[in-house]
Structure 1
Amino acid sequence: MEENDVVETIEQAEAELVEESEIEESQDELSKANERIAELEAKLSDAENRILRNQADFENYKRRVRLDQESATTYRAQSLVNDLLPALDNFERALQVEAKDEHSKSILQGMDMVYRGIVEALKKEGVEAIESVGVQFDPHFHQAVMQVEEADAESNIVLEEFQKGYKLKDRVLRPAMVKVNQ
Protein backbone atom coordinates (compact mmCIF):
# COMPACT_ATOMS: atom_id res chain seq x y z
CA MET A 1 0.00 0.00 0.00
CA GLU A 2 1.13 3.29 -0.83
CA GLU A 3 1.30 6.27 1.35
CA ASN A 4 -1.62 7.89 -0.44
CA ASP A 5 -3.79 4.85 0.18
CA VAL A 6 -2.94 4.88 3.86
CA VAL A 7 -3.69 8.60 4.14
CA GLU A 8 -6.92 8.08 2.27
CA THR A 9 -7.92 5.20 4.57
CA ILE A 10 -7.09 7.28 7.63
CA GLU A 11 -9.11 10.20 6.30
CA GLN A 12 -12.04 7.88 5.60
CA ALA A 13 -11.80 6.44 9.11
CA GLU A 14 -11.67 9.95 10.58
CA ALA A 15 -14.68 10.95 8.48
CA GLU A 16 -16.57 7.90 9.70
CA LEU A 17 -15.67 8.74 13.31
CA VAL A 18 -16.87 12.31 12.84
CA GLU A 19 -20.09 11.00 11.30
CA GLU A 20 -20.59 8.55 14.17
CA SER A 21 -19.91 11.32 16.68
CA GLU A 22 -22.41 13.59 14.94
CA ILE A 23 -24.95 10.75 14.84
CA GLU A 24 -24.46 10.13 18.59
CA GLU A 25 -24.86 13.85 19.29
CA SER A 26 -27.98 13.92 17.11
CA GLN A 27 -29.35 10.88 18.94
CA ASP A 28 -28.66 12.53 22.31
CA GLU A 29 -30.40 15.71 21.14
CA LEU A 30 -33.31 13.63 19.79
CA SER A 31 -33.55 11.73 23.09
CA LYS A 32 -33.58 15.02 25.04
CA ALA A 33 -36.19 16.43 22.66
CA ASN A 34 -38.35 13.30 23.12
CA GLU A 35 -38.06 13.62 26.91
CA ARG A 36 -39.06 17.29 26.69
CA ILE A 37 -42.00 16.37 24.42
CA ALA A 38 -43.14 13.69 26.91
CA GLU A 39 -42.83 16.20 29.76
CA LEU A 40 -44.84 18.82 27.86
CA GLU A 41 -47.50 16.25 26.90
CA ALA A 42 -47.85 15.28 30.58
CA LYS A 43 -48.22 18.96 31.54
CA LEU A 44 -50.79 19.45 28.79
CA SER A 45 -52.75 16.41 29.91
CA ASP A 46 -52.68 17.66 33.52
CA ALA A 47 -53.85 21.13 32.43
CA GLU A 48 -56.68 19.61 30.35
CA ASN A 49 -57.80 17.52 33.35
CA ARG A 50 -57.78 20.59 35.61
CA ILE A 51 -59.82 22.52 33.06
CA LEU A 52 -62.36 19.68 32.80
CA ARG A 53 -62.64 19.45 36.61
CA ASN A 54 -63.10 23.23 36.86
CA GLN A 55 -65.79 23.12 34.18
CA ALA A 56 -67.58 20.29 36.02
CA ASP A 57 -67.29 22.18 39.33
CA PHE A 58 -68.70 25.31 37.71
CA GLU A 59 -71.61 23.36 36.17
CA ASN A 60 -72.37 21.84 39.60
CA TYR A 61 -72.20 25.30 41.16
CA LYS A 62 -74.62 26.71 38.57
CA ARG A 63 -77.00 23.77 39.17
CA ARG A 64 -76.87 24.25 42.96
CA VAL A 65 -77.52 28.00 42.63
CA ARG A 66 -80.46 27.34 40.28
CA LEU A 67 -81.92 24.75 42.68
CA ASP A 68 -81.44 27.14 45.63
CA GLN A 69 -83.20 29.92 43.70
CA GLU A 70 -86.05 27.60 42.75
CA SER A 71 -86.36 26.44 46.35
CA ALA A 72 -86.30 30.02 47.62
CA THR A 73 -89.03 30.95 45.14
CA THR A 74 -91.14 27.90 45.93
CA TYR A 75 -90.87 28.23 49.71
CA ARG A 76 -90.57 32.01 49.99
CA ALA A 77 -93.63 32.20 52.26
CA GLN A 78 -92.44 29.53 54.70
CA SER A 79 -91.20 31.83 57.48
CA LEU A 80 -94.29 34.03 57.24
CA VAL A 81 -96.59 30.99 57.34
CA ASN A 82 -94.70 29.56 60.33
CA ASP A 83 -95.27 32.86 62.13
CA LEU A 84 -98.99 32.88 61.22
CA LEU A 85 -99.79 29.30 62.34
CA PRO A 86 -100.11 30.11 66.08
CA ALA A 87 -102.45 33.02 65.24
CA LEU A 88 -104.47 30.68 63.02
CA ASP A 89 -104.71 28.18 65.89
CA ASN A 90 -105.97 30.95 68.19
CA PHE A 91 -108.57 31.96 65.60
CA GLU A 92 -109.82 28.36 65.46
CA ARG A 93 -110.05 28.14 69.27
CA ALA A 94 -111.88 31.48 69.42
CA LEU A 95 -114.36 30.37 66.76
CA GLN A 96 -115.28 27.31 68.86
CA VAL A 97 -116.68 29.52 71.63
CA GLU A 98 -120.48 29.57 71.76
CA ALA A 99 -122.08 32.96 71.22
CA LYS A 100 -124.82 33.71 73.74
CA ASP A 101 -126.10 37.04 72.48
CA GLU A 102 -126.32 38.92 69.17
CA HIS A 103 -123.28 41.05 69.88
CA SER A 104 -121.11 37.95 70.47
CA LYS A 105 -122.52 36.32 67.33
CA SER A 106 -121.61 39.32 65.19
CA ILE A 107 -118.08 39.40 66.63
CA LEU A 108 -117.66 35.68 65.94
CA GLN A 109 -119.03 36.17 62.45
CA GLY A 110 -116.44 38.90 61.79
CA MET A 111 -113.69 36.71 63.21
CA ASP A 112 -114.84 33.86 60.98
CA MET A 113 -114.60 36.13 57.93
CA VAL A 114 -111.06 37.17 58.89
CA TYR A 115 -110.14 33.52 59.54
CA ARG A 116 -111.47 32.42 56.14
CA GLY A 117 -109.58 35.27 54.45
CA ILE A 118 -106.31 34.18 56.06
CA VAL A 119 -106.93 30.53 55.15
CA GLU A 120 -107.72 31.49 51.55
CA ALA A 121 -104.55 33.61 51.29
CA LEU A 122 -102.51 30.73 52.66
CA LYS A 123 -104.08 28.33 50.13
CA LYS A 124 -103.03 30.66 47.31
CA GLU A 125 -99.44 30.36 48.56
CA GLY A 126 -99.71 26.55 48.58
CA VAL A 127 -100.40 25.96 52.27
CA GLU A 128 -102.67 23.00 53.02
CA ALA A 129 -103.94 21.49 56.24
CA ILE A 130 -102.80 17.90 56.73
CA GLU A 131 -105.62 15.35 56.79
CA SER A 132 -105.61 13.52 60.10
CA VAL A 133 -108.78 12.05 61.60
CA GLY A 134 -109.66 8.67 60.15
CA VAL A 135 -106.49 8.23 58.10
CA GLN A 136 -103.53 5.89 58.57
CA PHE A 137 -100.89 7.31 60.93
CA ASP A 138 -97.90 8.63 58.97
CA PRO A 139 -94.91 9.84 61.03
CA HIS A 140 -94.00 12.25 58.23
CA PHE A 141 -97.29 14.12 58.66
CA HIS A 142 -98.45 13.23 62.19
CA GLN A 143 -96.99 13.45 65.66
CA ALA A 144 -98.57 10.92 68.00
CA VAL A 145 -99.04 12.47 71.44
CA MET A 146 -101.45 9.80 72.67
CA GLN A 147 -102.18 6.15 71.99
CA VAL A 148 -105.38 4.38 72.97
CA GLU A 149 -106.93 0.98 72.35
CA GLU A 150 -110.39 1.10 70.82
CA ALA A 151 -111.79 -2.20 69.59
CA ASP A 152 -114.13 -0.64 67.01
CA ALA A 153 -111.30 1.20 65.17
CA GLU A 154 -108.50 -0.21 63.02
CA SER A 155 -104.95 -0.33 64.29
CA ASN A 156 -102.68 2.66 63.59
CA ILE A 157 -105.58 4.95 62.60
CA VAL A 158 -105.71 8.56 63.78
CA LEU A 159 -108.72 8.96 66.09
CA GLU A 160 -108.46 12.58 67.13
CA GLU A 161 -106.53 15.70 66.15
CA PHE A 162 -105.29 17.99 68.92
CA GLN A 163 -103.49 20.50 66.72
CA LYS A 164 -103.73 20.89 62.96
CA GLY A 165 -100.70 20.16 60.86
CA TYR A 166 -99.80 22.13 57.75
CA LYS A 167 -97.65 21.66 54.70
CA LEU A 168 -96.38 24.17 52.16
CA LYS A 169 -96.52 22.52 48.74
CA ASP A 170 -94.65 19.26 49.46
CA ARG A 171 -92.81 20.37 52.62
CA VAL A 172 -94.28 19.73 56.08
CA LEU A 173 -94.31 22.95 58.10
CA ARG A 174 -95.79 21.43 61.23
CA PRO A 175 -96.97 17.85 61.77
CA ALA A 176 -100.47 17.32 63.14
CA MET A 177 -100.59 16.41 66.84
CA VAL A 178 -102.87 13.37 67.03
CA LYS A 179 -104.25 10.50 69.09
CA VAL A 180 -103.66 7.11 67.47
CA ASN A 181 -105.32 3.73 67.96
CA GLN A 182 -102.82 1.02 68.88
Structure 2
Amino acid sequence: MDHVKGNPTEEKFKNEDIVEESEVSEQAGIDDEIETSETNDIEETQLTEEDEKVILLGQQVEELNNRLLRVQADYDNFRRRTREEKEAAAKYRAQSLVEGLLPVLDNFERALMVTTENEETKSLLQGMEMVYRQLQESLKNEGVEVIETVGQSFDPHLHQAVMQVESDEFESNQVVEELQKGYKLKDRVVRPAMVKVNA
Protein backbone atom coordinates (compact mmCIF):
# COMPACT_ATOMS: atom_id res chain seq x y z
CA MET A 1 0.00 0.00 0.00
CA ASP A 2 1.43 3.34 -1.01
CA HIS A 3 2.55 5.75 1.71
CA VAL A 4 0.09 8.55 2.00
CA LYS A 5 1.77 11.95 1.84
CA GLY A 6 0.71 14.53 4.34
CA ASN A 7 -1.39 17.45 3.45
CA PRO A 8 0.79 20.19 1.91
CA THR A 9 -1.13 22.83 3.78
CA GLU A 10 -0.37 21.15 7.09
CA GLU A 11 3.32 20.91 6.19
CA LYS A 12 3.36 24.60 5.39
CA PHE A 13 1.83 25.48 8.73
CA LYS A 14 4.32 23.25 10.53
CA ASN A 15 7.23 24.95 8.79
CA GLU A 16 5.81 28.38 9.64
CA ASP A 17 5.44 27.30 13.28
CA ILE A 18 9.07 26.18 13.36
CA VAL A 19 10.18 29.51 11.88
CA GLU A 20 8.04 31.41 14.37
CA GLU A 21 9.43 29.36 17.28
CA SER A 22 12.96 30.07 16.05
CA GLU A 23 12.21 33.76 15.78
CA VAL A 24 10.64 33.69 19.25
CA SER A 25 13.75 31.93 20.60
CA GLU A 26 16.03 34.45 18.96
CA GLN A 27 13.93 37.32 20.30
CA ALA A 28 13.95 35.74 23.74
CA GLY A 29 17.74 35.46 23.56
CA ILE A 30 18.01 39.12 22.58
CA ASP A 31 15.63 40.09 25.39
CA ASP A 32 17.73 38.06 27.85
CA GLU A 33 20.87 39.79 26.65
CA ILE A 34 19.20 43.19 27.03
CA GLU A 35 17.98 42.27 30.54
CA THR A 36 21.46 40.97 31.46
CA SER A 37 23.06 44.16 30.12
CA GLU A 38 20.57 46.33 32.02
CA THR A 39 21.17 44.27 35.16
CA ASN A 40 24.93 44.68 34.76
CA ASP A 41 24.47 48.43 34.26
CA ILE A 42 22.34 48.62 37.42
CA GLU A 43 24.90 46.55 39.35
CA GLU A 44 27.74 48.75 38.09
CA THR A 45 25.76 51.84 39.13
CA GLN A 46 25.13 50.31 42.56
CA LEU A 47 28.80 49.37 42.90
CA THR A 48 29.80 52.87 41.93
CA GLU A 49 27.49 54.34 44.57
CA GLU A 50 28.83 51.89 47.13
CA ASP A 51 32.41 52.77 46.14
CA GLU A 52 31.60 56.45 46.60
CA LYS A 53 30.16 55.71 50.04
CA VAL A 54 33.26 53.71 50.97
CA ILE A 55 35.55 56.52 49.78
CA LEU A 56 33.47 59.09 51.68
CA LEU A 57 33.55 56.99 54.84
CA GLY A 58 37.30 56.52 54.43
CA GLN A 59 37.78 60.29 54.16
CA GLN A 60 35.64 60.84 57.25
CA VAL A 61 37.64 58.21 59.18
CA GLU A 62 40.92 59.84 58.11
CA GLU A 63 39.66 63.29 59.11
CA LEU A 64 38.50 62.02 62.51
CA ASN A 65 41.82 60.24 62.97
CA ASN A 66 43.74 63.44 62.16
CA ARG A 67 41.57 65.40 64.60
CA LEU A 68 42.19 62.77 67.26
CA LEU A 69 45.95 62.96 66.67
CA ARG A 70 45.85 66.77 66.93
CA VAL A 71 43.86 66.61 70.18
CA GLN A 72 46.29 64.00 71.54
CA ALA A 73 49.27 66.18 70.58
CA ASP A 74 47.66 69.24 72.19
CA TYR A 75 46.98 67.25 75.35
CA ASP A 76 50.57 65.94 75.44
CA ASN A 77 51.89 69.50 75.01
CA PHE A 78 49.58 70.72 77.78
CA ARG A 79 50.80 67.98 80.12
CA ARG A 80 54.45 68.75 79.27
CA ARG A 81 53.96 72.50 79.85
CA THR A 82 52.15 71.85 83.13
CA ARG A 83 54.94 69.52 84.31
CA GLU A 84 57.63 72.05 83.31
CA GLU A 85 55.76 74.85 85.08
CA LYS A 86 55.47 72.75 88.24
CA GLU A 87 59.17 71.85 88.09
CA ALA A 88 60.12 75.51 87.53
CA ALA A 89 57.85 76.61 90.37
CA ALA A 90 59.48 74.07 92.69
CA LYS A 91 62.98 74.89 91.46
CA TYR A 92 62.64 78.66 91.80
CA ARG A 93 60.17 78.77 94.68
CA ALA A 94 62.57 80.89 96.75
CA GLN A 95 63.15 83.53 94.06
CA SER A 96 60.82 86.19 95.46
CA LEU A 97 62.26 85.66 98.96
CA VAL A 98 65.82 85.91 97.63
CA GLU A 99 64.99 89.09 95.71
CA GLY A 100 63.59 90.57 98.93
CA LEU A 101 66.69 89.58 100.95
CA LEU A 102 69.31 90.96 98.54
CA PRO A 103 69.01 94.56 99.82
CA VAL A 104 69.37 93.16 103.37
CA LEU A 105 72.61 91.42 102.33
CA ASP A 106 73.84 94.66 100.77
CA ASN A 107 73.16 96.57 103.99
CA PHE A 108 74.90 93.91 106.08
CA GLU A 109 77.99 94.16 103.86
CA ARG A 110 78.04 97.96 104.13
CA ALA A 111 77.65 97.79 107.91
CA LEU A 112 80.46 95.22 108.21
CA MET A 113 82.83 97.53 106.29
CA VAL A 114 82.79 99.99 109.19
CA THR A 115 86.08 100.16 111.13
CA THR A 116 86.08 101.03 114.78
CA GLU A 117 88.30 100.90 117.86
CA ASN A 118 85.37 100.80 120.26
CA GLU A 119 85.07 97.37 121.90
CA GLU A 120 81.29 97.54 122.16
CA THR A 121 81.02 98.40 118.48
CA LYS A 122 83.41 95.58 117.57
CA SER A 123 81.32 93.15 119.58
CA LEU A 124 78.18 94.37 117.80
CA LEU A 125 79.87 93.97 114.41
CA GLN A 126 80.91 90.40 115.29
CA GLY A 127 77.30 89.56 116.12
CA MET A 128 76.16 91.11 112.82
CA GLU A 129 78.80 89.13 110.96
CA MET A 130 77.52 85.88 112.50
CA VAL A 131 73.96 86.71 111.42
CA TYR A 132 75.25 87.64 107.94
CA ARG A 133 77.09 84.30 107.57
CA GLN A 134 74.00 82.37 108.70
CA LEU A 135 71.90 84.25 106.18
CA GLN A 136 74.42 83.50 103.44
CA GLU A 137 74.48 79.81 104.40
CA SER A 138 70.70 79.58 104.31
CA LEU A 139 70.58 81.19 100.88
CA LYS A 140 73.34 78.88 99.65
CA ASN A 141 71.29 75.87 100.76
CA GLU A 142 68.45 77.17 98.57
CA GLY A 143 70.78 77.31 95.56
CA VAL A 144 71.78 80.99 95.71
CA GLU A 145 75.29 81.71 94.38
CA VAL A 146 77.33 84.90 94.11
CA ILE A 147 78.25 85.75 90.51
CA GLU A 148 82.01 85.88 89.96
CA THR A 149 83.21 89.21 88.63
CA VAL A 150 86.77 90.58 88.97
CA GLY A 151 89.10 88.98 86.43
CA GLN A 152 86.25 87.29 84.56
CA SER A 153 85.40 88.00 80.94
CA PHE A 154 82.44 90.33 80.68
CA ASP A 155 79.20 88.37 80.17
CA PRO A 156 76.09 90.50 79.46
CA HIS A 157 73.92 87.72 80.90
CA LEU A 158 75.71 87.89 84.25
CA HIS A 159 77.20 91.37 84.43
CA GLN A 160 75.85 94.88 84.07
CA ALA A 161 78.60 97.20 82.84
CA VAL A 162 78.14 100.68 84.28
CA MET A 163 81.59 101.99 83.46
CA GLN A 164 84.45 101.29 81.05
CA VAL A 165 88.05 101.93 82.12
CA GLU A 166 91.55 101.35 80.80
CA SER A 167 93.85 99.17 82.86
CA ASP A 168 97.12 97.41 82.03
CA GLU A 169 96.48 94.81 84.75
CA PHE A 170 93.53 93.26 82.89
CA GLU A 171 92.88 92.06 79.38
CA SER A 172 90.38 93.74 77.12
CA ASN A 173 86.73 93.07 78.03
CA GLN A 174 87.64 91.76 81.48
CA VAL A 175 85.87 92.87 84.65
CA VAL A 176 88.12 95.27 86.58
CA GLU A 177 86.00 96.07 89.63
CA GLU A 178 82.72 94.99 91.22
CA LEU A 179 80.39 97.79 92.29
CA GLN A 180 77.49 95.61 93.47
CA LYS A 181 77.30 91.85 93.92
CA GLY A 182 75.22 89.80 91.56
CA TYR A 183 73.35 86.62 92.49
CA LYS A 184 72.06 83.50 90.74
CA LEU A 185 69.35 81.14 91.96
CA LYS A 186 70.48 77.79 90.58
CA ASP A 187 70.84 78.57 86.85
CA ARG A 188 68.69 81.74 86.82
CA VAL A 189 70.17 85.21 87.31
CA VAL A 190 68.28 86.98 90.09
CA ARG A 191 70.38 90.14 89.89
CA PRO A 192 73.31 90.82 87.53
CA ALA A 193 76.53 92.16 89.05
CA MET A 194 77.28 95.85 88.49
CA VAL A 195 80.87 96.10 87.25
CA LYS A 196 83.58 98.17 85.60
CA VAL A 197 84.97 96.65 82.41
CA ASN A 198 88.39 97.09 80.86
CA ALA A 199 88.28 98.68 77.42
Secondary structure at the aligned position of 1:128 is classed as strand
1:37 maps onto 2:45 in alignment = no
Correspondence 1:60-99 to 2 at 5 A: 60-99=77-116
1:173 maps onto 2:190 in alignment = yes
Secondary structure at the aligned position of 2:107 is classed as helix
Say which of 36, 39, 43 aligns to 1:26.
Answer: 43
| TM-score normalised by L of structure 2 | 0.87
Superposition RMSD in Å = 1.3
Q: Tell me how far apart the structure 2 counterparts of residues 156 and 4 of structure 1 sit (CA, whole Å).
A: 117
Contact in 2 for aligned 1:147/1:179 (Cα 8 Å): yes
1:147 maps onto 2:168 in alignment = no
**Count of paired positions:** 182
Secondary structure at the aligned position of 1:69 is classed as helix
Say which of 127, 131, 138 aligns to 1:110.
Answer: 127
| Structure 1: runs of 5 or more not aligned | none
After superposition, give the CA deviation of every residue in 1:93-127 in whole Å (9 maximum; x if it has no partner): 11111133122112111111111111000000000
Say which of 4, 28, 33 aligns to 1:16.
Answer: 33
1:125 maps onto 2:142 in alignment = yes
Residue identity matched to 2:156: P
After superposition, give the CA deviation of every residue in 1:118-153 in whole Å (9 maximum; x if it has no partner): 100000000000111122222111111111112333
Secondary structure at the aligned position of 1:131 is classed as coil
Contact in 1 for aligned 2:151/2:170 (Cα 8 Å): no
* Runs of 4+ deviating beyond 4 Å: none
Q: Which deviates more from structure 2 when the two are superposed, residues 78-87 or residues 8-17?
A: 8-17
Q: Tell me how far apart the structure 1 counterparts of residues 46 and 81 of structure 2 sit (CA, whole Å).
A: 52
Q: Tell me how far apart the structure 2 counterparts of residues 152 and 114 of structure 1 sit (CA, whole Å).
A: 36
| Structure 2: runs of 5 or more not aligned | 1-17
Q: Tell me how far apart the structure 1 counterparts of residues 120 and 79 of structure 2 sit (CA, whole Å).
A: 60
Offset of residue 173 of structure 1:
0.8
After superposition, give the CA deviation of every residue in 1:58-89 in whole Å (9 maximum; x if it has no partner): 22221111111111111111111011101110
Larger Rg: 2
Offset of residue 170 of structure 1:
0.9
Secondary structure at the aligned position of 1:2 is classed as helix
Secondary structure at the aligned position of 1:100 is classed as coil
% identity of equivalent residues: 53
| TM-score normalised by L of structure 1 | 0.94
